[in-house]
Amino acid sequence: MELFKNLYNERFFEFFGNALKQVYPSYTHDDFIRHIYDQDWDKRELKQRMRHITEGLKKQLPENFEDTTQILLECIEQLQNQGLKEHSVEYMFFPDYIECYGLDELEIAVQTMEKITQFTSCEFAVRPFIIKYPMQMMDQMLEWSHHENHKVRRLASEGCRPRLPWAMALGDLKKNPSPILPILENLKNDPSDFVRKSVANNLNDIAKDHPSVVIEIVK
């Protein structure tokens, strides 16, 4: 059985690089590929490869974060124009870029994640922002819970799960989940099963630390 990390292969990078070149002519595919296939590439696991790709993109794109986010969004549109219609986990290096290089650019990062998550989930990328800007971000998550796009509504719940697997824990929300509850209240009857499952997962996380809270909610 093929390892999931091997989704990152020459065919993938050719497809991605062609889309990026269309919207950012300064992109140099040969330099990017040299960065990707370094001596440690074969040793890296999936998330390590994602981060390595993110670092390679940083070398290719403009220094200005706002300019870069516009290029990334245009690249996503180009990928979709080239036939990529479905959400794909391989492209989670887009939100990873925002996580790595946008933490001091809250407004731009939030606007960009709202758009990127409609293509590939920002559930991991949003968490460092919740830790650094807890009040602003939980207000934002509450606002997203009313968004017209179900993938953004899902981000409102999935992104603030206290114990999201394979992601950094949200210590303050583990101690006090009350900021999460209005979000889940808004989403508990969401028309999307995708969103409702996230609400259930979030409640399951909360139950590990505050079972009585979840019992009262369920009642």
Q: pLDDT tens across 162-215, in order? A: 999 888 999 999 999 999 999 999 999 999 999 999 999 999 999 999 999 999
The model's pTM: 0.94
| List of residues 6+ apart from 87 with CB closer than 8 A | 119, 120, 121, 151
At residue 144 the predicted structure's pLDDT band, cuts being 50, 70 and 90, is very high
Compute the distance between CA of residue 134 and CA of residue 141 in angstroms, rounded to an integer: 10
